[in-house]
């Protein structure tokens, strides 16, 4: 067996092409195009790169962007004030606060300042609650992108045993909630989990989301399992790709798997927010 590729790059292209066409059809109905505000705190080079990638994708589909760069010396109060101002601005449909914030900034407090109707990255407590109870709300962008990728390839979650490795607020925790809502049985693993190899070897679906390169060994993967690698560090994922691909039925590459789908989900939700805020949904 050799795993078939879950091609996030190609799937994201399909989604963004549809969004570009939809935005053209919206133009006669709304005075302005969809708008996404990005907030970046500090000078982390990787964060700057990620934000610019998202801005570039927005431009490609016709979403306007507003880029807010705050210095590393920004206080929590200043960051919260900046986000609240965007939340109150009727010309802004969606708000993205790039993670991670500098250690001195209370990131949770900044997230909480996002108006839920504009939380297109799915980071507020309201969005997490909506995912937990399978109610309307925006999905966390990376887990949401993963679910869209699985849906695109017709991979159903009902009855599957899913193991999520990682429990971050923006990835691991919401990932498990979305899988549970699709009737998967979910096991969370993290840095305090004992018997990680055994738990992964029992999984029908493995989502690796730790940021620790090749933590998940290919030999741990159950024959025929689906493997989603949401890790990324110097072009390397959380999973030993070559050996895992020999056992998996489906597997995401790194890069080209989860990353493009994260941005596609963000753009999709920005357009949805635009339509809702303008009374079109």
CATH code, 105: 3.40.50.10860
**pLDDT at site 222:** 98
Q: Are residues 89 and 159 in the same domain?
A: no
Is 96 in contact with 124 (CB distance < 8 Å)?
A: no
pLDDT at 71: 97
The boundaries of the domain holding residue 182 are 141-259
Same domain, 171 and 69: no
pTM: 0.96
Burial status of residue 31 (CB atoms within 10 A of its CB: 0-12, 13-18, 19 or more):
exposed
- Distance CA(229)–CA(234), nearest Å, equals 14
Contacts of residue 125, Cβ cutoff 8 Å, sequence gap at least 6: 111, 112
Pairwise CA distance, residues 272 & 260, whole Å = 19
Ramachandran region, residue 129 (left: φ > 0; alpha: ψ -120 to 50; beta: rest): alpha
Number of folded domains that form the chain: 2
Q: Which residues contact 265 (CB under 8 A, 6 or more apart)?
A: 139, 141, 142, 144, 145, 148
Question: Same domain for 106 and 146?
Answer: no
For the chain, list residues with pLDDT below 70. Answer: 1
Catalytically active residues are 54, 98, 121
Shared domain check, 163 and 100: no
Distance CA 195, CA 212 (A): 17
Residues 242 and 156 in one domain: yes
Q: Which of 255, 254, 165, 237 is nearest to 202 (CA)?
A: 165
């Amino acid at each position: 067996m050799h795993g078939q590729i879950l091609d996030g790059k190609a799937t994201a292209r399909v989604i963004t092409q549809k969004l570009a066409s939809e935005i053209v059809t919206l133009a006669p109905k709304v005075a302005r195009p969809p708008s996404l505000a990005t907030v970046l705190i500090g000078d982390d080079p990787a964060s700057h790169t990620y934000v610019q990638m998202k801005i570039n994708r927005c431009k490609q589909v016709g979403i306007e962007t507003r880029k807010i760069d705050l210095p590393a010396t920004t206080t929590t109060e200043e960051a919260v004030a900046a986000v609240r101002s965007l939340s109150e601005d009727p010309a802004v449909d969606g708000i993205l606060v790039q993670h991670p914030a500098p250690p001195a900034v209370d990131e949770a407090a900044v997230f909480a300042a996002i108006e839920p109707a504009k939380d297109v990255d799915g980071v507020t407590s309201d969005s997490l609650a909506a995912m937990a109870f399978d109610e309307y709300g925006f999905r966390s962008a990376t887990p949401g992108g993963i679910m869209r990728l699985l849906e695109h390839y017709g991979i159903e979650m009902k009855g599957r045993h899913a193991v999520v490795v990682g429990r971050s607020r923006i990835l691991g925790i919401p990932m498990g909630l979305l899988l549970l809502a699709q009737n998967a049985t979910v096991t969370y693993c993290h840095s305090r989990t004992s018997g990680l190899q055994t738990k992964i070897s029992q999984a029908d679906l493995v989502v690796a989301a730790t940021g620790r390169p090749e933590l998940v060994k290919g030999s741990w993967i159950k024959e025929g399992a689906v493997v989603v690698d949401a890790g990324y560090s110097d072009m390397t994922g959380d999973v030993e790709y070559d050996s895992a691909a020999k056992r998996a039925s489906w597997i995401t590459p790194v890069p080209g798997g989860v990353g493009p789908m994260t941005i596609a989900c963000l753009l999709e939700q920005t357009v949805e927010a635009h339509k809702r805020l303008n009374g079109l949904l």
